[in-house]
Structure 1
């Protein structure tokens, strides 16, 4: 009898990780990792990992005001704004790539930066999006603008990233 109660409880809790529409609802141990790639020039190269509980980790790699790893805090509103800008481009499952020669990026200019975003859920699945900013075409402009400005509403990052070109 005890195993049946535990099984029912486990199934009930598993349902808490989704909305009615099948889209993930962030829970405390979910995370979004946003990692920029280098360009020909002085583009900041860094990684941030953010969680809905307001914790964040910044890792400055190249051309940032702070090198190495630093913890920081953000508000729930800042996390929601960041996640909201990225949500329209989050794949339903697996990985989506916008890189030179691939579907959606048949033509590309060289030496541009990129961003690699990973959504990781506590229940073990993840989705990722790689976007190369050299992907030309009007169809990619809205995505490039949203991905490139996703960190703009997180004031704690200004002092860590520093001046952007």
Structure 2
């Protein structure tokens, strides 16, 4: 056998071996998608800051039950409960899917997480989505800012996650939890 023939056989064998070590493609079907069709639990925790920032936690169960706990700088301190409709739950599922929740980072708290600009003394929003097959939490510090944000934007990075958190607040306004109250929700950070 000539040197060239032996070299060709070794090269083909090596290429085949290396190709066999490549990872298999992701499976198709529900496991490969980030979309959900229902959730067991969705929670939003807003933290305080050195100033007056609403500090509370909302937990929404898959059957529509809502548990609220107001901690500081909110019009309702302590626990409260509410029931969401099937339409409201569907809107929350849409919000989870629209933001691509399971594809986002686990945190946005500093420049290593992709924050373009950092500011101090801001609250955080900590969200958590639990389904029957997976669970994810995201710690979103509002000091993670967009550089040169347009006037119609919140300035918080990533904007889509900030809007998702606002959609949760809109679904469960504090005024709906306070007996006899009316008017706009005051959940959103100032």
Q: TM-score, normalised by structure 1?
A: 0.71
Structure 1: unaligned runs, 5 residues or longer: 1-17
Structure 1 residue 106 displacement after superposition: 4.8
The answer as to 2:38 corresponding to 1:62 is: no
Structure 1 CA distance for aligned equivalents of residues 132 and 59 of structure 2: 14
Structure 1 residue 159 displacement after superposition: 4.5
Q: Which of 101, 112, 136 matches 1:127?
A: 136
Q: Considering Cα pairs closer than 8 Å and 6+ residues apart, tell me whether 1 or 2 has the greater RCO.
A: 1
Give the number of the structure whose alpha-carbon radius of gyration is greater. 2
Structure 1 residue 71 displacement after superposition: 1.9
Aligned to 1:91: 102
Residues 104-148 of structure 1, C-alpha deviation per residue, up to 9 Å, x if partnerless?
A: 21521111111111112245x311111111211156233323323
SS at match of 2:82: strand
Structure 2 CA distance for aligned equivalents of residues 20 and 105 of structure 1: 27
Q: TM-score, normalised by structure 2?
A: 0.63
From the superposition, tell whether residues 83 and 151 of structure 1 become closer, same or farther in structure 2 (CA, over 3 Å). Answer: farther
Aligned to 2:172: 154
Structure 2 CA distance for aligned equivalents of residues 128 and 105 of structure 1: 18
Residues 29-88 of structure 1, C-alpha deviation per residue, up to 9 Å, x if partnerless?
A: x01011111123211111111123111100111112222222211112222223432332
Structure 2: unaligned runs, 5 residues or longer: 1-29, 150-156, 179-184
